[in-house]
Chains A and B, each alone.
Chain A
């Protein structure tokens, strides 16, 4: 009886190790992590697509892991040299906290131009550290297109 229990425990442990290894392999292969979109708010991929349709040429947009700012999901990339992030939040409180922490960060680390803009529970964050767009000719349309979603 005692021996049977030991065998069962061994099998269970081996099973757990196998599962853990498989998960680790999956993350090592950079398999796409399923995106958990927030409800009733513009989705990150819709926003990027809208920018593309508006001729803004977004580049390298992909989901950020781990998801920052307590958001449900975030995507980041660049648009004509300007860094942009789009995040979906599950509620206003989380979104407000994210904006606060960003503003705090910007007050400590200079950004040439910075912008946070919300549309329902989706937040657009734009940072132009290298002054690629001093006249806002990219950032302005980015914000306008985002607001229309």
Chain B
């Protein structure tokens, strides 16, 4: 694994040097050995996505390759027997072998088919879930980078759009195995025919030399045919791949419209009122579909050319073989029965070898997709996540830990920010600049400021989602980044403006676990003001939400969803509570209710509240005012109002004038 990741790392730089060294074997800037290494890693990763699947595929393709072979072998033998011996008993057994062998092999293959099909039915979803699980393990700042998102979409796109990447690896392996089997079989099948060239001395007496000379011709022709096949197939694949690669780019646009924008209820209102039809049709056609069509045209026309040459060369080679074999049979060098077998052997050899060559081209091209996959899998991870997942296997553990974990944090001095600065990766300006702030345990702080002044960033820093670029955040005197992540997060309950609910049961949403404490869930719901609603539901707290996952789920209004998110924070029973604009979309009553509950819920807890509604600041002990990443004012609401000409007063007056 390490070695492959090194390859990935140095891939672009070393390309030119390597290609100069050995021009022919390098493809897409990789040598054969590197490609093989990537494929091997791909197979290992595939085994993680669908354990055991590759084995079924192996067996299936070996069996699949053997089935037509028995038939070909048997019919060749039968013909031979008919032409020469005509022993009835022998014919009987040969027939039995032909049909019985096929039958047995088929049954074996169908068993593997069934197993493989079961696995395959999950492949695409399992692949997506595998990727999503990886995103769960990413550090938050990596998750938020647009590059990550794009990489993820590329990886997803390559499998879902044209079955490249892992799916291609899967299919290709099947073909590789089959191709190998067929090559071996072709040589076995043609053994009699090939021997005829150098045949027994007795027959060689009749002009044996000219026959011997024909053998190299046959070999040359077969070789040429295979070579043309490979070359043409390779070219065709390269073009398809090129077209595909560009297609993934266009597909983003197409998918945006078909999957996101057009089916969206809210977007549909805009689309109608603003008559966006023209622009949407134009954009999707121009940026996606027309290019798809052009790419396809290019690909198919190229296919006509390359496949045409391939087909012609194979046909002509076959005719030559027939003529040759026929002539050899005429002159008695081989038995009549060998004619069919010889022809079958040569054509099979050609097709198997060119198939192999094609599939190798495809596999090597596919490595581009695999590389994306590996790049995504190689993104850094939260180290502790792994350990936790491992310990999670025995599920009871979490609960006990959760209870015991709260203990030691209680007696403390609160949260202190020491010269905290933060800059988003790739950004010049500071999102937060030299913030010093202390919030004593049990006190409440309101964070206000204009859009983009750094409030939400600060919240993310507090949640340990970002690491401060400079300075540090202390909890009870200890840098939060030195605490075990789980432990720190367990002391923290946050409700974000853009919280997410999952289509699982209400209780699972509240407890973030399937082994929850029912009473505690109910308590949390009561505190958040949602118990009345849940009690009216037929399944109570185990009622699923929405309709995506389970049937008969319930829908929530904006206010109810917000309350559910708050209940989640309450359930956690943490000492630090963070609310980031929890009421932007709520009506005054719901808003008032939530702030009201906020008072009760955060009683005795350290709390941070971000809000544009300055009215909520009055319920906090202190208010921190941010402008452009700096902390400009700090004090109680009343104190700040007295500071004439400052930011807080400006904000307050802008809003309060309408209510006085």
Query: Are the chains A and B members of one assembly?
Result: no
